[in-house]
């Protein structure tokens, strides 16, 4: 009997699903995407209605061949890729790569989706197959082509105007702008002083509590009404003469509802706050929980699909939650009717359920032994949030007390007491800012009554300063992107990772700090491509993509509307902007060595001050304002003019410079090269010297540089090669091969082992490493001639590389 071939994306998922389907079904993995736009120019034919020129990924070729073979002997082909746009597109790409039509009679093509990998969900999906949604495929195609057009046109522009290796992306650049603008707000922030006055008040029963001055002469105080210390001290003197008594008591009861179940975005935010997970780590761990883990009954998915915008729970989930709550906490903590939530995110797609455990009966403690530490932490977070969302509201008694100090002054104290914990007994959501956290803290007040006299124990004036806006954390950045409808939550992890790996930003204590190159890139895009890094424009593009997925718009006209003004502006800026304009900034300072203006330049390590007279004057100093180290007189004299040599600090460390500068511009390395007494085998006139590169690595090169550029990384030995008679050999030591000698000529494979590598003693169960003969040739290393040259020559910019090697980033 012919088999049914089921194709999923992940091999872990394939193993889980095959167990549920049983005989007659073969489940194989595509290992993710099988076709993509090649990372080179021309992968989208703009002239022919934006036709994408896909190719099968090299790493997918062997998987496609296996799938073709299995499809030929199958009666039906079931495409079970992920239930989202990307999964729909992968299903379509699979058919294209396999050369199978969806209308084919053999094998019969079916499309199934499921949001959890459980036996019931899989069997239900197989029993009710559907077709590939062309609208979702088009929406995903439009996104891919759009990101390609931006990345493969804007990135090369950055290479020309700033430096090679940078990237720009439709969503990535907007995220960078958010971080850079926040950094500018912090830099421009001017703290403002203000004061508050707090009274510590005691009751006859011995209780002490705090109250803050709230009004003077019937007028409620604004934040800055007490502006300085003198004013605060004057008020303290006046208040200290007055007696205190309770003027008014206000008591109220309020309910606090739990947070909604997790979406992709809120899961990333809360995992960042509570667990310290990056967005990338959260999604990786969640993927494993979704694909399946054996917790005693074989492989089974522990959570539903983790890429979702929905906050909805199925009836099955709410019923199970009620049973769990009743059993664990009591009937009073359960709800009579399930609680429903409304999604507040812009452009939310609510086709799926929220992220939840597939079986709430699998409590975290019950399955802990089967999970890694990270899996347990994330599963517990998802389980607690899901259960708490269906628990009764917390009831809090809030009390506000107005306390009169004489006739002029009014203090206020407030507090709340939890009368019924409700969901708070299990889970309380964390917040990004300290103010939000403080609002949720519980404060208690003693029992007070109207007109009750109070004793003032102490009056405490306190100085405060306004604080700048906080830097973005991963959680707050994800929250802001989602609130503004920028990008999709499933892409946030890769976007953040790109910003860090490109060194546009860095993460310090879980907050984003901009790097100089990130600020320069952002400024260039904001100043010259304002429309394309505008928050509303980017959110509008997401709405257009959503409209394509709903069948309301065609994808090519959407791309045309974007492309024509974009490429026109890009061509205009190609001629208008010079690299000097972007990477160099004038200052009002002059060079202390030659008197020419100093400018701010952008280097590999960030921005620095440099003389505009370069290369005649090579003066540089850090931009961070730190004091420059004064030159120190050395015990050496200049070999050109005889003047004393100074020890100076440069960008790459200390060096010797003639004190007669600018009349004599002689400079030398602080540590002189060491002569080896070995003639240079290339020119025959010079001598090999031991030198140190700017990065501190030892190399060996001819002392006639730059006339002769012969150089080696390995120690030269003045002995001829026994095989090719080259005048020297080199000696090298590695862990794998021990100490050996070899011929430095790439055309000669002679080697000789001097000291064999240490034999590692490992457990008998492990396979011993294969032995190597003494004639094994070590992998040749690149000659350091170019690096050696850079130590003496003027720094040069890296040659431009082809734009086809860039990768488009979202």
Q: Is 305 known to be catalytic?
A: yes
Helices and strands (H, E) in the chain, number of each type: 20, 35
| Annotated catalytic residue, options 305, 427, 492, 504 | 305
Q: Are 235 and 228 in contact (CB under 8 A)?
A: no
Q: Are 240 and 459 in contact (CB under 8 A)?
A: yes
Q: What is the DSSP letter of 761?
A: P
Tokens of 284: 């990786």
User: Minimal CA–CA distance to 199: which of 461, 465, 464, 463?
Assistant: 461
Question: Buried (b) or exposed (e) across 713-746, using 16+ Cβ within 10 A?
Answer: bbebeeeebeeeebebbbebeeeebbebbbbbbe
Report the alpha-carbon distance of residue 750 to residue 445 in Å, rounded: 86
Determine if residue 406 is left, alpha or beta; phi over 0 gives left, psi from -120 to 50 gives alpha, anything else beta.
Answer: left
Report the alpha-carbon distance of residue 18 to residue 107 in Å, rounded: 19
Say how many residues make up the chain.
810
> What long-range pairs does 666-675 form, CB within 8 A, spacing at least 24?
666/638, 666/639, 666/640, 666/641, 667/618, 668/639, 669/791, 673/703, 675/703
Report the alpha-carbon distance of residue 146 to residue 562 in Å, rounded: 8
Report the alpha-carbon distance of residue 142 to residue 539 in Å, rounded: 15
Report the alpha-carbon distance of residue 352 to residue 138 in Å, rounded: 20
Q: How far is CA 537 from CA 141, 291, 530, 532, in A?
A: 20, 36, 10, 7
* Spatial CB neighbours of 206, under 8 Å, sequence gap ≥ 6: none
Q: Are 79 and 94 in contact (CB under 8 A)?
A: yes
Report the alpha-carbon distance of residue 281 to residue 279 in Å, rounded: 6
* Spatial CB neighbours of 754, under 8 Å, sequence gap ≥ 6: 731, 738, 739, 740, 741
Q: How far is CA 99 from CA 9, 43, 68, 538, 553, in A?
A: 18, 21, 9, 36, 28
Bridge partners of 357?
303
Tokens of 228: 């300085």
Report the alpha-carbon distance of residue 502 to residue 504 in Å, rounded: 5
Positive or negative, the CA dihedral 559, 562, 567, 568 is positive
Q: Which residues are catalytic?
A: 305
């Amino acid at each position: 009997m012919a088999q049914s071939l089921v194709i999923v994306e992940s091999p872990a998922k394939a193993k889980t699903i095959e167990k549920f389907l049983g005989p007659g079904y073969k489940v194989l993995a595509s290992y993710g995407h099988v076709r993509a736009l090649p990372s080179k120019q021309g992968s989208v034919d703009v002239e022919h209605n934006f036709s994408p020129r896909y190719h099968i990924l090299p790493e997918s070729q062997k998987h496609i061949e296996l799938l073709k073979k299995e499809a030929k002997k199958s009666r039906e082909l079931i495409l079970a890729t992920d239930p989202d746009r990307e999964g729909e597109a992968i299903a379509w790409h699979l058919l294209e790569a396999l050369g199978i039509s969806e209308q084919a009679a053999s094998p019969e093509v079916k499309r199934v989706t499921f949001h959890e990998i459980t036996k019931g969900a899989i069997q239900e999906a197989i029993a009710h197959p559907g077709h590939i949604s062309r609208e979702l495929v088009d929406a995903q195609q439009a996104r891919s082509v759009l990101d390609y057009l931006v990345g493969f046109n804007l990135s090369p522009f950055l290479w020309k105007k700033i430096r090679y290796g940078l990237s720009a992306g439709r969503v990535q650049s907007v995220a960078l702008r958010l971080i850079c603008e926040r950094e500018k707000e912090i830099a421009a922030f001017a703290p403002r002083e203000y004061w508050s006055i707090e009274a510590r008040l005691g009751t006859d029963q011995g209780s002490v509590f705090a109250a803050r001055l709230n009004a003077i002469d019937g007028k409620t105080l604004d934040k800055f009404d007490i502006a300085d210390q003198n004013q605060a001290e004057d008020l303290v003197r006046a208040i200290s003469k007055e007696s205190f008594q309770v003027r008014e008591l206000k008591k109220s009861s309020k309910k606090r509802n739990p947070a909604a179940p997790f979406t992709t975005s809120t899961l990333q935010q809360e995992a960042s706050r509570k667990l310290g997970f990056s967005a990338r780590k959260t999604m990786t761990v969640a993927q494993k929980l979704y694909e399946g883990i054996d917790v005693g009954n074989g492989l089974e998915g522990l959570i539903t699909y983790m890429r979702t915008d929905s906050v909805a729970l199925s009836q099955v989930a709410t019923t199970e939650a009620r049973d769990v709550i009743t059993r664990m906490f009591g009937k009073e903590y359960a709800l009579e009717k399930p609680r429903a939530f409304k999604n507040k995110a812009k452009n939310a797609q609510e086709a799926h359920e929220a992220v939840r455990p597939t079986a709430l009966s699998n409590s975290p403690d019950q399955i802990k032994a089967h999970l890694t530490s990270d899996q347990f932490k994330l599963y517990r977070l998802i389980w607690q949030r899901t259960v708490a969302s269906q628990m009764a509201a917390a009831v809090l008694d809030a009390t506000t007390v107005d306390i009169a100090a004489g006739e002029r002054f009014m203090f206020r104290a407030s507090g709340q007491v939890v009368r019924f914990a409700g969901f708070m007994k299990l889970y309380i959501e964390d917040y990004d800012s300290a103010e939000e956290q403080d609002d949720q803290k519980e404060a208690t007040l003693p029992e007070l009554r109207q007109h009750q006299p109070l004793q003032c124990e102490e009056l405490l004036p306190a100085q405060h300063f306004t604080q700048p806006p906080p830097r973005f954390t991963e959680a707050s950045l994800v929250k802001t992107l989602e609130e503004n409808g920028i990008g999709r939550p499933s892409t946030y992890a890769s976007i953040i990772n790109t910003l860090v790996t490109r060194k546009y930003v860095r993460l310090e204590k879980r907050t984003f700090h901009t790097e100089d190159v990130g600020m320069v890139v952002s400024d260039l895009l904001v100043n010259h491509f304002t429309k394309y890094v505008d928050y509303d424009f980017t959110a509008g593009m997401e709405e257009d993509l959503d409209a394509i997925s709903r069948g309301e718009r065609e994808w090519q006209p959407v791309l045309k509307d974007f492309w024509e003004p974009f490429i026109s502006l890009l061509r205009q800026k190609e001629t208008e902007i010079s690299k000097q304009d972007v990477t160099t900034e004038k200052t009002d300072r002059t060079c202390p060595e030659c008197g020419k203006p100093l400018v701010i330049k952008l280097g590999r390590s960030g921005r620095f001050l440099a003389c505009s007279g370069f290369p005649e004057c090579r003066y540089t100093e850090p931009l961070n304002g730190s004091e420059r180290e004064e030159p120190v007189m050395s015990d050496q004299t200049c070999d050109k003019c005889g003047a004393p040599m100074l020890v100076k600090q440069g960008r790459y460390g200390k060096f010797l410079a003639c004190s007669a500068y600018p009349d004599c511009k002689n400079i030398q390395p602080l540590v002189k090269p060491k002569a080896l007494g070995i003639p240079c085998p290339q020119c025959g006139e010079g001598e090999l010297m031991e030198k140190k590169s700017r990065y501190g690595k030892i190399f060996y090169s001819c002392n006639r540089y730059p006339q002769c550029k012969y150089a080696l990384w390995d120690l030269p030995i003045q002995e001829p090669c026994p095989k090719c008679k080259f005048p020297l050999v080199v000696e090298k030591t590695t862990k794998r091969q021990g100490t050996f000698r070899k011929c430095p000529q790439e055309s000669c494979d002679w080697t000789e082992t001097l000291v064999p590598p240490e034999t590692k003693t490992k457990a008998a169960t492990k396979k011993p490493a294969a032995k190597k003969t003494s004639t094994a040739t070590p992998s040749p290393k690149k000659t350091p001639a170019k690096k050696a040259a850079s130590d003496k020559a003027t720094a040069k910019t890296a040659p431009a590389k082809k734009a086809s090697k860039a990768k488009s980033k979202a």
